[in-house]
Structure 1
Amino acid sequence: MNQAHSSLPDLTGAAWRVSSYSGGQGECVEVADNIPDVVPVRDSKRPAGPVIGFAPHAWQAFVAHLG
């Protein structure tokens, strides 16, 4: 099973936040936690740029591995 979503839902209402794992040097990853069934991730320097969507369990596993 592919862990990244190939098509994302409408992200107009996404509540983006800077990931707590971002370095604070302008190299920030933003995530939106309020989209059902997907965790969208984007580069804060390019908010209109590409977005990658992860299955929630895949994102949780990734974050757990960082900790």
Structure 2
Amino acid sequence: MTMPPQGWRKSSRSQQRTSCVEVGRVGDGAAVRDTKDRSLGYFTTTSTQWQTFLHAVKSDRFS
């Protein structure tokens, strides 16, 4: 049985907004869910996928 994500958190930049995503730890990767409707579930990534995504965001690859 797979353990559910732990330690959900959202960016401190989102302040009190509800149109954000939350990130939780799952295994050696990450889980992501929508704060507006947590009942919709979440998707998971491997550690490598998550690190690649974070690097792309930090280097403005999506601008």
Q: Same fold (TM over 0.5)?
A: yes
Number of equivalences? 57
Residue identity opposite 1:27 in structure 2: S
Higher normalized helix content (fraction of residues): 2
The structure that has the greater radius of gyration is: 2
Q: 1:29 pairs with 21, 34, 57, which one?
A: 21
The offset of 1:23, in angstroms, is 8.1
* Stretches (4+) displaced over 4 A: 20-24
Aligned to 1:6: none
Q: Does 1:66 align with 2:57?
A: yes
Identity %: 30
Q: How many Å separate the matches in 2 of 1:42 and 1:60? A: 17
Unaligned stretches of 5+ residues in structure 2: 59-63
CA RMSD of aligned residues (A): 2.3
TM-score for both structures, normalised by structure 2? 0.69
Higher normalized strand content (fraction of residues): 2
Unaligned stretches of 5+ residues in structure 1: 1-8
